[in-house]
Structure 1
Amino acid sequence: MAERVGVWIIGAYGDVAVTAMLGARAIARGLAGSTGLVTELPELKPLDLAPVASLVFGGCDVRQERVARRAWQIHRDHGVIPSPVLEAVAPELEGIDDVISEGLAREAPATASAALGTLRQAVGRVTEAIARFRERASVERVVVMNLASTEPPVPDSPAHHSLAAFEAALDADDASAVSASVLYAYAAMRAGCAYVNFTPSRGPRVAALGELAHARRVPYCGSDGKTGETLVKTALAPMFVQRNLRVLAWLGYNLLGNSDGRVLADPAARESKLASKGNVLPAILGYSPDTKVGIEYVPSLTDWKTAWDFIHFEGFLGTRMAMQFTWQGCDSMLAAPLVLDLARLAELALRRGEAGFMTHTACFFKDPIGVAEQSLAAQFQLLLDYAGTA
């Protein structure tokens, strides 16, 4: 029997988290196939990845909920997850609530709620929650996965530039330098966990935490899972380069109705998402066409998102042409398998003693840490190279 692997999810009651947990249990019972799981591709078989069935879940959330109840709500609201599958795995989902603790608000921890206490006390709460989960789940290795709502951008601070300066900011209770996502990443690394930032929030993207990751010999990756419009964009944009066609304008409009869309209706949170999505085209094309990315919250869409893109480009003899595409997908069903992929890849890196950036995971993210390459094919080649099957 395979060794159990802990996956501690920040935002454990969110749609993506619940779908990932339910999906893992369904796969373990033979009730679902592996479609959507990148790590099940034949090219990645040489990797000694933990079986999906070995993943054990816990985490935290700012909401008071129940995993099974949220799963049924997703089924009713979004018209996904077959009832027989949900009925079969619901008893296993009910046990997860025992290892889901109270989370930190997305604002700076020291100012969000007096109950959180100081920054050091907040760090202690997170590390203690991870330790309790590790003990109760009987797991040695834990992957911490940030699936929480997007934070507003965190301004750069001298406290981010070195681990010593960051530790000093914690001691001084300087909340201006430490958002919840940064604090979670710090606490996870201190606890010896691998860390995956599936959100556009700052999280581990500060030099101080890169230093900590190497000191603690833990791997990490991010940022912002690539599941929809940007996935298509990073596959399509290289075509214009390879045909020597000049992109004049690329406009994209995203409509979504889930909790992610509700959070992104906040201009401050939307700024983080737009910054993450906006890096793609200049990196691939080598220049900056006229671009616009819009994000609109449409509650009636629930978990279904639509992206419409218009591309104006120039070809031979200055002839101007256009292309459009529409992407429609269920957000949680696109993201959840990637959560399982990244948990398996992060656990393998942790088991191998790898530290720092997991650059081979670039194909999973809009804004990959430590990788400038944005072409999906080139990013996927990094994963194949890691697997030794190139």
Structure 2
Amino acid sequence: MTDTHARTGVWFAGARGSVATTAVAGCAAVRAGLHPATGMVTETSAFAGTGLPSLAALVFGGHDITSCPLPKRAEQLTGAGVLPHGLAAAVHAELAAADEEIRTGGPLPDDPRTDAELIADLAADLVSFRGRHALARVVVVNVSCTEPPPAPDAERLPPSSLYAAAALRAGCPYVDFTPSTGLRTPGLSAAATAAGLPHTGRDGKTGQTLLRSVLAPMFVQRALEVRAWSGTNLLGGGDGATLADPAAAAAKNAGKERVLTDTLGHRPEGRVHIDDVPALGDWKTAWDHIAFEGFLGSRMVLQTIWQGCDSALAAPLVLDLARLVARAHEAGISGPLPELGFYFKDPDGGPAGLPEQFAGLLAFADRLREAK
């Protein structure tokens, strides 16, 4: 018998960033009845009776290397138009409580600790958090900045892999909402299998790639040849600054382009470009130009524009994933979860098209419903 009221920890790597702050504030607002759960798939009727932990049962904490408190960060997001006016004040207590549970992550500049020492310290924070709040389990969710891929001869693990290793050490399921390396090193992949913990794909699918995963199957199903597919992203805030690094942008774009290759069966001409526009703040614009060929070689074009707030798009998905993975852990499900490919640019297997991914997610809900 599942207990939806069992206290469940959600531990963010990047706990003072925009996504984590929006998730904590949003969870508090929804459970207080201040706002509807718009964008949370797990709050729809399809997930009734699945035994997911309730929003009221979630306890937040995390690691970060910045010092701006969550209440202050929420005020900044209000000024940027991400959070509605008055919400930061209304959920100040919940934000402050989560901020009390944020610990210094790493590695810090000139950090003298070895990888093994960092992993041990990070894992100790997780174990302490779980014990201090008598939590049934803790799900670690990486929402930190995108990293460049590590060099093949790198001697140190990247930060995302340190957090992933700490999660395994502490017996915590792991969700990587970023395109960073995380569990995807040979050593950690083997350790994840040995740990018997559920874990997910990489890089949350929130905007441009979400639309691509809907449109690409349309061309295939209508037997229309896609000749070229180009895209441009304009974004500001922390993501814009981070993705100004060509190596970090390449890691991000790999997932954006993967859905086209997987769905179309080939990689069309054209690339995705990311431009840092600080004036846009936490908002982004994504433009796609699709050149395709129809009957008798007629050449046609489809153009799309997506404008949105990435944090507001990502936060409900992060809450969904934390609840789904926590329930999977309770049900004894371990290893990669391709059924959650609906949420990711880089899923752990499964179909690339959104309708098929959604069908897989609903089947997973049935599986959770039947689990004891």
TM-score bucket of the superposed structures, by smaller chain: over 0.9
Distance 1:291 1:196 in 2: 31
3-state SS, counterpart of residue 82 of structure 1: coil
3-state SS, counterpart of residue 350 of structure 1: helix
Partner of 2:20: 17
Distance 1:209 1:118 in 2: 17
Q: Residue 140 of structure 1: CA displacement? A: 2.5
Q: Which amino acid aligns with 1:373?
A: P
Q: Residue 378 of structure 1: CA displacement? A: 1.1
Superposition map of 1:1-390 within 5 A: 2-76=5-79, 78-105=80-107, 113-156=109-152, 176-369=155-348, 371-388=349-366
Q: Residue 225 of structure 1: CA displacement? A: 0.5
Q: Which amino acid aligns with 1:131?
A: V
Q: Residue 132 of structure 1: CA displacement? A: 1.9
Distance 1:135 1:60 in 2: 17
Q: Which amino acid aligns with 2:60?
A: F
Distance 2:68 2:171 in 1: 28
Where structure 2 has 5 or more consecutive residues not aligned to the other structure, the ranges are: 368-372
Q: Residue 372 of structure 1: CA displacement? A: 4.8
3-state SS, counterpart of residue 21 of structure 1: helix
Q: Which amino acid aligns with 1:335?
A: A
Q: Which amino acid aligns with 2:98?
A: I
Alignment deviations for residues 263-291 of structure 1 (CA, whole Å, 9 cap, x no partner): 00011211211122221111101122112
3-state SS, counterpart of residue 83 of structure 1: coil
TM-score (norm 1): 0.90
3-state SS, counterpart of residue 184 of structure 1: helix
On the 8 A contact 1:312/1:323 being kept in 2, the answer is yes
Distance 1:372 1:290 in 2: 25
Q: Residue 156 of structure 1: CA displacement? A: 4.8
Q: Residue 219 of structure 1: CA displacement? A: 0.5
On the 8 A contact 2:350/2:357 being kept in 1, the answer is no
265-274 or 310-319: bigger deviation: 265-274
Partner of 1:169: none
Distance 2:149 2:184 in 1: 12
Q: Residue 11 of structure 1: CA displacement? A: 0.3
Distance 1:104 1:41 in 2: 37
TM-score (norm 2): 0.94
Where structure 1 has 5 or more consecutive residues not aligned to the other structure, the ranges are: 106-111, 158-174
Q: Which amino acid aligns with 1:92?
A: E
On the 8 A contact 1:26/1:85 being kept in 2, the answer is yes
Distance 1:92 1:276 in 2: 34
On the 8 A contact 1:210/1:356 being kept in 2, the answer is no
Distance 2:345 2:258 in 1: 8
On the 8 A contact 1:16/1:335 being kept in 2, the answer is yes
Distance 2:271 2:195 in 1: 41
On the 8 A contact 1:155/1:177 being kept in 2, the answer is no
238-247 or 374-383: bigger deviation: 374-383
Alignment deviations for residues 89-138 of structure 1 (CA, whole Å, 9 cap, x no partner): 11221122221111114xxxxxx644341111101110111122112222
3-state SS, counterpart of residue 72 of structure 2: helix
Distance 1:249 1:338 in 2: 30
3-state SS, counterpart of residue 204 of structure 2: coil
257-266 or 128-137: bigger deviation: 128-137
Distance 1:5 1:59 in 2: 13
Q: Residue 199 of structure 1: CA displacement? A: 0.3
Task: Give % identity.
Answer: 47
Q: Residue 147 of structure 1: CA displacement? A: 0.5
On the 8 A contact 2:176/2:201 being kept in 1, the answer is yes
Alignment deviations for residues 38-84 of structure 1 (CA, whole Å, 9 cap, x no partner): 111222224211111211100010101201110011001x2132233
Give every structure 1 segment of 4 or more consecutive aligned residues whose post-TM-superposition deviation is greater than 4 Å: none
Q: Which amino acid aligns with 1:84?
A: G
Q: Which amino acid aligns with 1:137?
A: H
Q: Residue 324 of structure 1: CA displacement? A: 0.5
Distance 2:46 2:283 in 1: 31
On the 8 A contact 1:27/1:53 being kept in 2, the answer is no
- Aligned length in residues: 364
Distance 1:292 1:241 in 2: 20
